[in-house]
Amino acid sequence: MSPRRGVAPLRRAAIVRATIRCLARDGYSGLTMRKVAREAKVSQGILHYYFADKRTILVAALETVAADLDRRVAAAQDRGPMDARARLLALVEACLRLAVEERAFWIVFVEFWGEMMHDRRLRTINAALYDRTRRLIGAVVAQGVRAGTFRRTDPLRAAAVILGLVDGVSLQLTFDPTAFRVAEATRFCGDAVLRYLTREAR
């Protein structure tokens, strides 16, 4: 018998959250459906109703952490001014804070990337996620170019540079939170992004 309609989304979300905790603790190589079921406090039968195997639950975990990051970025941007400069700085800070406040979320990305190198379907999913993210950042860059805040540049190329910087520093914070404080990392990345977008191209 399938779960009741009202219960199903909540139970599925709880299973995915349990998977994120398992991935953070044991990695993908140590992930088993039995461990996830135990962590989520459901039977393996219920678990398999929602997810066929480890791959499908890994994808669900990635989608969940990506959606959570999107919400954090949107909330940070909504709290401040709507100009492009402020929106980009809010994005940088939200991403870096996630690496410290929800370390398990970045570990999901790392585990997914490791598996993606050997799975074309996972690479396709990751490529779509990064394409969407570059377009979102690119839209903010384009806003700044139109307003005269940023130099004329290809918004998607600029977005790829910004995303590379933020990803790299976020990973350092995930691996070693003592490398620098979030405020320091945010200031460094923000300054680097603004210098890149306002200097004249050579």
Taking only the tens place, the pLDDT of each residue in 41-80 is: 999 999 999 999 999 999 999 999 999 999 999 998 888 7
User: Which residue ranges make up each domain of the chain?
Assistant: 1-52, 61-198
The answer to whether the 1-52 and 61-198 domains have the same CATH topology is: no
23 vs 79, which has greater pLDDT?
A: 23
Mean pLDDT rounded to a whole number for the chain:
92
CATH superfamily of 61-198: Tetracycline Repressor, domain 2 (1.10.357.10)
**pLDDT interval class at 180 (50, 70, 90):** confident
pLDDT of residue 8: 85
Q: How many helices (H) and strands (E) does the chain have?
A: 9, 0
* String of DSSP letters for 79-147: HS--SHHHHHHHHHHHHHHHHHHTHHHHHHHHHHHHHHTT-HHHHHHHHHHHHHHHHHHHHHHHHHHHH
Neighbours of 61 (CB within 10 A): 29
- Both tokens assigned to 101: 């406040």
pLDDT digits (tens, 9 = 90+) for 85-117: 999 999 999 999 988 888 899 999 999 999 999
Query: Widest CA span of the chain, in angstroms?
Result: 65
Q: How far is CA 54 from the centre of its chain?
A: 20
SS3 content of the chain, % helix, strand, coil (to 5): 80, 0, 20
- Both tokens assigned to 67: 């959606």
Residue 182 has pLDDT above 90, yes or no: no
Residue 7 has pLDDT above 80, yes or no: no
Question: What CA–CA distance (Å, rounded) separates 21 from 36?
Answer: 9
As its CATH architecture, domain 1-52 has Orthogonal Bundle (1.10)
